[in-house]
Amino acid sequence: MKKFLALLLTGVMVLSLAACGGKKEEAPAETPAETPVEAPAEGGGTIGVCIYKFDDAFMTTYRNALQEILEGKGYTVTVVDGNNDQAKQNEQINTFITQGVDALIINPVMTSAAATIIDTVKSANIPTVLINREPTADEMAAYDKLVYVGADASQSGTMQGELILDTANKGDINGDGKVSYIMIQGDPENIDAQLRTEYSVKALTDAGVEVEQLNLTRGDWDREKGQTICANDLAQFGDQIEVVFCNNDDMAIGALQSIQSAGRKVNEDIYLVGVDALDAALNEVQAGNMTGTVLNDAKGQASQAVECMEGLLAGDTYAAGEQSVYVDYVKVTPDNVAEFMK
């Protein structure tokens, strides 16, 4: 496990050297066009962290990792809960700015609010790292002291599809020549939900597998919604369902409860995949109750975000089109699940 962690960290570090290196600030011109960012006081600075909502399983792991890394480095950190309310988060950002934080790390509530958020932090000249909900490259290009740290959601979708392709019957449990699935989607406003939905199925069709979508329902990343949606779909489609694709693990854990209540058995008469590699999902993968999941590396992304933030504080700037830094997803199956368990 230690070796795995060391490898993972090395991977992150290598990536960060390549990925997190914004341009170093040039020697100041005679008349600087902008006020330079004030260097934080010796022994750390003050950092504001905005999370879209605390009541999200993956973002809980992520924010805890962020807080631990930042505090470990001597920063004074305040982490606030946006309660899934963009207006509230806008106020929180403004409060942080008024308080004079040295840098911000923001997990936007609405991806569609990114342009406004960027405008606000730019006007205040605060170095900012956006996380988890990726805006467009054009929106980010408005401010060169801004970077996005996340993961390429299409990669996780592809890996979910591969988990199904790797099963003995490539997902076609009833042998009728097509894979019939339900899709339990996250919040569709979020690019992670859009791309995972698209690419999980694309991996199957790219491999020449015929697919049939029985239903697609938004579950907003939420365990209880995952459970209800899956229960309804099982009641409606019964044995026709061969694969349950969930955009994240929390919804998959909910779906598993309904699968078990319906007397179905994962990996025998139905397949189930998620994303995130939450501890609960790792346990289910190991027990054979989930076909697999995909590691969404919260700790890796948190350390990358902090590294990028420190680069910005040291004067790094980012060119348009080079403002997204990705940490790789990793496929998790019963064969390698032990490596991810604490």
Residues that bind ligand GAL (CB under 6 A): 56, 58-59, 132-133, 186, 190, 192, 221, 248, 250, 275-276, 296
Three-state DSSP state, 43: coil
Q: How far, in whole angstroms, is CA 105 from its chain's centroid?
A: 15
84-87 long-range contacts (CB < 8 A, ≥24 apart) are: 84/52, 84/53, 84/109, 85/109, 86/110, 86/113
Nearest approach in angstroms of CB 238 to ligand GAL is: 28
Q: Decide whether 133 or 331 has the Cβ nearer to ligand GAL.
A: 133
Nearest approach in angstroms of CB 269 to ligand GAL is: 27
Contact 54, 82 (CB under 8 A): no
Tokens representing 266 are: 């994962």
Nearest approach in angstroms of CB 205 to ligand GAL is: 23
Contact 312, 21 (CB under 8 A): no
Nearest approach in angstroms of CB 229 to ligand GAL is: 15
Q: Whole-angstrom Cα distance, residue 253 to residue 273? A: 10
Nearest approach in angstroms of CB 16 to ligand GAL is: 19
Nearest approach in angstroms of CB 28 to ligand GAL is: 38
Q: Decide whether 89 or 190 has the Cβ nearer to ligand GAL.
A: 190
Nearest approach in angstroms of CB 250 to ligand GAL is: 6
Name the residue among 280, 67, 62 with its Cα closest to residue 151: 62
Q: Decide whether 16 or 190 has the Cβ nearer to ligand GAL.
A: 190
Burial of 208 (0-12, 13-18, 19+ CB in 10 A): exposed
Q: Decide whether 276 or 310 has the Cβ nearer to ligand GAL.
A: 276
Q: Decide whether 108 or 311 has the Cβ nearer to ligand GAL.
A: 108
Nearest approach in angstroms of CB 144 to ligand GAL is: 25
- Our CA dihedral for 111, 160, 339, 337, rounded to 10 degrees, sits at 130
Q: Decide whether 145 or 299 has the Cβ nearer to ligand GAL.
A: 299
Contact 148, 130 (CB under 8 A): yes
Q: Decide whether 22 or 157 has the Cβ nearer to ligand GAL.
A: 157
Q: Whole-angstrom Cα distance, residue 41 to residue 175? A: 66
Q: Whole-angstrom Cα distance, residue 97 to residue 255? A: 41
Nearest approach in angstroms of CB 57 to ligand GAL is: 6
The answer for residues whose C-beta is within 8 angstroms of residue 39's C-beta and 6 or more apart is 313
Q: Which H or E run includes 28? A: none
Name the residue among 249, 196, 193 with its Cα closest to residue 226: 249
Contact 309, 250 (CB under 8 A): no
